[in-house]
Amino acid sequence: MEKMEEFVFKAREMGAICLSVWEGRWRVIPHDVLPDWLKDNDFLLHGHRPPMPSFRACFRSIFRLHTETGNIWTHLIGFFFFLILGIGYMFSPNINFVAPVQEKVVFGVFFLGAVLCLCFSWLFHTVYCHSEKVSRTFSKLDYSGIALLIMGSFVPWLYYSFYCSPQPRLIYLVIICVLGITAIVVSQWDRFATPQYRAVRAGVFLGLGLSGLVPTLHFMIAEGFLKATTAGQMGWLFLMAICYILGVALYAARIPERFFPGKCDIWFHSHQIFHVLVVAGACVHLHGVSQLQAFRSSLGGGCTSDTML
């Protein structure tokens, strides 16, 4: 009897919430009254958007404070940043490049991966409260975007680091593309987006990123540690890896909200920090490959038999 009364009470409460959303006067709600498909992080106790079966209401919620506000704006700003920067790179003078078409293509692949990743991310966090079907669809785009960013990040680094060794460069590019496409296919599985598979999601993308250890070790052994960390800009690659690995670890472990339930509902929860570290990692990576490009430009197009750079 008590369970029946509790069910009726929650049904009435959700009915009132849906009515307020329909009338455009919705308010944030606690985690325990969310429908199951909106429950993702049970350490965020308050400040959630209710189900909002209106795309207009979802996009207007960008300007309201709730658990997704930081997630949306970190990647919305990052999206415009990389979009504008990418357009600038594409129209930069050809004199800055040894092989303008090839080099702009490899940079374009990186910018495309970054822009799509950040775009899919802020869109997902904006509309995933619309309905279960919309949430599921956009979550698949979100996870696919992560794989595209990782794949796109490898392209300019492999191009410049193995500039004088085209055969291993091609092999590594094919391998990372196969692994990236596999990650995208796996991410289309409906269960992949559920809270129970949080660690699996983190593991898939962490594994995709760590696949870069093989070409990294190859490069460091062939060129030597000193040259790899100076001319090869390996330090920036390591810093990028730290940003991504730290972000994924915090996301998977739900730190810091795990230790402060209800205290990080709006700001500084793990997903928000993960978003900031993704943008930071992409910026660090861009700086590193830009330095590699400048190094190659200073040498010209020639290669010697004793170097990969």
Binding site feature residues for Zn(2+): 125, 271, 275
Which residues does the annotation place in the binding site? 125, 271, 275
The residues, ordered by sequence, that sit 6+ positions from 174 with a Cβ below 8 Å of its Cβ are none
The residues, ordered by sequence, that sit 6+ positions from 87 with a Cβ below 8 Å of its Cβ are none
Q: Smallest Cα–Cα separation from 70: which of 242, 217, 278?
A: 278
Q: Smallest Cα–Cα separation from 34: which of 20, 22, 44, 24?
A: 44
The residues, ordered by sequence, that sit 6+ positions from 52 with a Cβ below 8 Å of its Cβ are 21, 26, 58, 61, 129, 130
DSSP H helical ranges for 163-258 = 166-187, 198-210, 213-223, 225-229, 234-253
Q: Which two tokens stand for residue 20?
A: 């307020």
The residues, ordered by sequence, that sit 6+ positions from 298 with a Cβ below 8 Å of its Cβ are none
Furthest C-alpha separation in the chain: 82
Crossing angle of the two packed helices 132-161 and 213-223, in degrees rounded to 10: 10
Per the document, the length of the chain is 309
What is the spatial distance between Cα 291 and Cα 156, in angstroms, rounded to a whole number?
11
Classified as helix, coil or strand, 42 is coil
What is the spatial distance between Cα 71 and Cα 68, in angstroms, rounded to a whole number?
5
What is the spatial distance between Cα 195 and Cα 177, in angstroms, rounded to a whole number?
27
